[in-house]
Amino acid sequence: MLNNFYFDKKVLITGHTGFKGSWLSCWLHELGAHVVGYALKPPTTPNLFEICNLEKKVTSITGDVRDAHKLKIVMEKYKPEIVFHLAAQPLVRYSYKAPVETYEINVMGTVNLLEVCRHTPSVRVIIVVTSDKCYENHEWVRGYREDDSLGGYDPYSSSKGCAELISNSYGRSFFNPDNYEKHGVALATVRAGNVLGGGDWTEDRIIPDCVKALSENKPIVLRYPEAIRPWQHVLEPLYGYLLLGRHLYESGQEFVGAWNFGSDDRDAKSVRWVVEQITKMWGAPLPITIKQGGNPHEAKYLKLDSSKAKSNLGWSPMWDLHYALTKTVEWYKAYYSYEPMVNTTIKQIREYEESIYNKINQYELQVL
């Protein structure tokens, strides 16, 4: 549980204008945190950041994680206690077109962030967000665990594996848990699955592509319809990050290292299955077109084992995939009906929090 932990805390988020960053910024604002965001301008139009008027709720600074000097100035000025590093080039297909840019942002951006944190005395917690794709993918049926080999076929995936290695090195060299009493900084990395939810218009992601086709009454184009992914609502891993942040702040060295926050096995479904569910929920089934040939390599099967987070943090998924898709369609339908989306977004956050409370209460009743 988060309780009132984040109230009045100084939190810095890199990448706060992106999809996950905007949801996290909104949630932290609702929790009473003083949020400072450092990122480039929102990557799409429309975007969740502007739709929810987050520039009025957080201190938003336009900056690039490749600019270590500017990042240092921001950290010195605002003195955050907790840092969430979400800034990234997040797309597999784009990484084939721009591998150098992908490595500059995802690898050197992480180095810059950690190096600046190392020289910012106020920082007590650092959470580096990587990806489920950081693993060397053998197309195993079982989920990948935190101690499985890192790798990555494409530039994006390998850049996230690099970010993990860099974080591990900094964790040992400068934030070693054995010397926690001296430096006082707890560093962790987090890996999630394929997140979905309202407010995402990122290119080459299946939910935005699907919603765009439905809103324009056009066929839905799929590249890898049978690829299986660990789908989850965006609030699922974000709750894991927030929960981990609290534990790192309060118990330091006990919770450092890598953490998976993936969906349950039942929610590892094919792309085709997800699209069919969305079109049914939308109420306007559209034809599906398969794009044959010319597609760069993407993993066919990938899922995470989140046993560590379930056992040590008490975290677990609240919403199954069907309900997550229901909330996603609900959000987009509200948007295309010109409803006030700040209210819709906050309402879904509160519904998710209610799911947490209900699950805890059920557990306590079972214990009694």
Residues 6+ away with beta carbon under 8 Å from 39: 13, 14, 15, 16, 17, 18, 21, 60, 61, 62, 63, 87
Residues 6+ away with beta carbon under 8 Å from 3: none
Cβ atoms within 10 Å of 289's Cβ, excluding its own: 13
Per-residue pLDDT of the chain (368 residues; tens, 9 = 90+): 898 999 999 999 999 999 999 999 999 999 999 999 999 999 999 999 999 999 999 999 999 999 999 999 999 999 999 999 999 999 999 999 999 999 999 999 999 999 999 999 999 999 999 999 999 999 888 999 999 999 989 999 999 999 999 999 999 999 999 999 999 999 999 999 899 999 999 988 899 999 999 988 888 888 888 888 889 999 999 999 999 999 999 998 899 999 999 999 999 999 999 999 999 999 987 778 887 666 777 767 888 999 999 999 999 999 999 999 999 999 999 999 999 999 999 999 999 999 999 988 775 555 44
Pairing verdict, β 228-233 and 268-270: antiparallel
Q: How far apart are CA 224 and CA 203, in angstroms?
A: 16
Q: Are 93 and 153 in contact (CB under 8 A)?
A: no
- Is the four-CA dihedral 261, 266, 270, 275 of positive or negative sign? negative
* Secondary structure letter of residue 131 according to DSSP: -
HEC string for 51-113? HCCHHHCCEEEECCCCCHHHHHHHHHHHCCCEEEECCCCCCHHHHHHCHHHHHHHHHHHHHHH
Cβ atoms within 10 Å of 276's Cβ, excluding its own: 16
What is the second-level CATH architecture of the domain 10-195+231-268+297-322?
A: 3-Layer(aba) Sandwich (3.40)
- The pTM is what? 0.96
Provide the β-strand partners of residue 164. none
Residues 6+ away with beta carbon under 8 Å from 226: 270, 271, 272, 300
Long-range CB pairs of 168-172 (<8 Å, 24+ gap) are: 168/258, 170/114, 170/118, 171/256, 171/257
Q: Which two tokens stand for residue 50?
A: 């502007």
Please report, for the chain, the start and end positions of each structural domain, with discontinuous segments joined by +. 10-195+231-268+297-322
Q: How far apart are CA 129 and CA 40, in angstroms?
A: 17
Q: How far apart are CA 246 and CA 306, in angstroms?
A: 18
E-strand ranges in the chain read: 10-14, 34-39, 59-62, 82-85, 125-129, 186-192, 194-196, 220-222, 228-233, 257-261, 268-270, 288-290
